[in-house]
Structure formats: C-alpha cells, structure tokens
Structure 1
Amino acid sequence: MADTHDRLEAVEKAVEFFNRERVEHVLHAGDLVSPFAAPRFKDLRAELHYVWGNNEGDREFVRLRFGELGIKPLGDFATLELEGRRIALLHGTHQPIVDSLAKSGLFDIIVRGHTHRAEVIGEKTLVVNPGEVCGYLSGRRTVALLDPAELSAEIVEL
C-alpha cells in the first residue's frame, strides 16, 4: 500500500481487507502524511513495514504515534527478505533511483509509491506500485497483493 494521504476511512478499509485476506506483512511505501492517521492501523493483524514518503510533515510525531502501536518507521528506504525474496521498499520520489534499483540485480521485488499510479512491471525484478489508498488523483482506492514466492502481484481496488 502507499499514498494514504490522511484518507482515514480508506485506511480502515485497507486494514479490513488485509485482515480478511489474512495477509502476514503489509508494506507501506509512504505518504501516510499526518500523525492522526497512524492509529487507524491499530486493528491490523499483519506486521506493518513503513517507509517515509515526501509528504510526512511531522515525522517525529508520526514516529511517536506508530510507536504506540509497536510499529517503527524504517526511514526513507528499507530492505526486507520475505519468502526468500529480497525486497526494496521506498516511496520512489525520484524515478532514476527506482530504475537503478530495478537494474541493479540486488532485489527481486521493489515496492514503491509516489506516482499514485497502480502498476506491476518487470520480469527479473518485479516493480510494484500499489497505487493510492486515498484515491484522490485516480479516483481509485487501490492496494497490491504481493506473492513473493511466485514473484507476482495483483492490484486490488478497495
């Protein structure tokens, strides 16, 4: 998921969806935006991996509010290993960085946000943009269901 932009009811829908699907890990590629949105993740049963976007104004207070839920923001960039796959998680503000990561061969999967455009591209390295949970730019509230073992992802409209 990415680009929630304080759309609280959409965050709640996403949490309900992830719980219903019994998702084990949720990767958030940034732009939660305000501290008051963090508590909306309190009912999430999956482990949340969260990186900063370019619109978080008060990162320290966002960190504090997530900390109350036992969640630690991972900074601007994170690397994870899930189901034997190396994953890069970033907001993706700078396209040349995303392109370089995809070409580097260091990662099996790159999860990014920022553009608000849902897409799954690539073969050797899968680049997943779940779109926008907020739906402000596209009119669609989307997340992606990622299957690291199969190196596949599906865009899902909430």
Structure 2
Amino acid sequence: MKVGIVSDTHYPDKTSYLPDLLFNVFKNEKVELILHAGDLTAPELLERFEEIAPIIAVRGNLDKPFLPEEKILEIGGLRIGLLHGHRFLSLDEQTLKYKALEMGVDILIFGHTHRFFYKRYEYMGKEVILLNPGSPTIPRMSDPTFLVGEITHERFSFRIFKPWETQWRYP
C-alpha cells in the first residue's frame, strides 16, 4: 500500500503557498491513503486531499478541535501511531520511543518540529521507527519535505520529496 505522509501544512494561517508538487506526487504515485500529522489548520484542505485518497489526520496545536489527538492504524501487518507531538514537554527521542511503546506501534509518525526526522531503533526487545515528514510549506532549519511510504509484507520504506529537489529512498 502506498501512503502519502505529511505534516505542518499551516495553510492558510501561516502560508498562502501549497506546493503543487505535494498534490501531484500523491496523485502520480497513486497513494491509497494520506496521513497528516497535524497543523493542517484548514478543514477545506481535508477535502482537497480527499480528492486524491482517503485522509487520516490528527490535531496539531493550531488545529480546531474537530480532529482526534492521536490515532493507531493497522496497515499491511504494521501498527502505525499518528500524533502531532505538541503535548509533550520535549519531543526528544527518548520521549517518542516511550510513546511508541505505550501505543504498541511499530512506526510512530509525528509532526510539530517542521523538520524531517527518521530513526529506526531496537528498543526493549522491539523494533520501533520514529518518523517526522517535516513541513512542505514552513520548514524550520531544513528544507521543505513530505513523504510517500510503501508498506508491503510488514516492511516499511519511503521516499522523501523536496518541492525543489529530487527524492531519496529509505529502507
């Protein structure tokens, strides 16, 4: 299954620009689901993503309270946790690893920092992936980014897209 992964779009509250590449990639890659890790900020943006694929979004610190705080999904034999992360005092790796273990997930997708982050851990006898897709519109000390993930046979890989550069594949 192909999954579009994005966070911190902040449209239109902090930016009037949404890169066409974001929507074009999700369409061209034929993503079957879109995961948004919060700070969507505009309910009408949900409709725009829904034109491409079903979307599951969680509430960020700037979202109205119509979205859930966190979600747990099962896709292709993997448990995926989705949250924004603004409720944590610190978004350090230790806190995120414990949250992943508490949620019982294989992959924890989070946002809030506006920076891409990927790390795979063997932790307390379990493999855990922490993943932040960054922000396609308002990055902080990094390039704008979003991801297309692929889940097959309990394996997860993804490609990172930068609105003005090329892409890379991660295992």
TM range (shorter): 0.7 to 0.9
Counterpart residue number, 2:166: none
Tell me, in whole angstroms, the C-alpha distance in 1 between the residues paired with 2:139 and 2:114. Answer: 9
Give the superposition deviation at 1:103: 4.0
Tell me, in whole angstroms, the C-alpha distance in 1 between the residues paired with 2:85 and 2:112. Answer: 6
5+ long unaligned stretches in structure 2: 1-5, 122-126, 164-171
How many residue pairs get aligned? The number is: 143
Whether the aligned pair in 2 keeps the contact of 1:10 and 1:141 (CA below 8 Å) is: no
CA RMSD of aligned residues (A): 2.3
Tell me, in whole angstroms, the C-alpha distance in 2 between the residues paired with 1:15 and 1:155. Answer: 14
Counterpart residue number, 1:41: 49
Output the TM-score relative to the length of structure 2: 0.72
Counterpart residue number, 1:67: none
Give the superposition deviation at 1:52: 0.5
User: Between the two proteins, what is the percent identity of the paired residues?
Assistant: 30
With over 3 angstroms needed to count, the CA separation of the structure-2 counterparts of 1:102 and 1:8, relative to structure 1, is: same
User: As a proportion of its length, which structure holds more helix?
Assistant: 1
- Residue deviations 1:56-92 (CA, integer Å, cap 9, x gap): 1x33xxx4xxxxxxxxx4x000000111100000001
Counterpart residue number, 1:114: 112
5+ long unaligned stretches in structure 1: 64-72
Counterpart residue number, 1:50: 57
Output the TM-score relative to the length of structure 1: 0.77
User: As a proportion of its length, which structure holds more strand?
Assistant: 2
- Residue deviations 1:20-60 (CA, integer Å, cap 9, x gap): 1111111000001234544433532x21111000111x33x
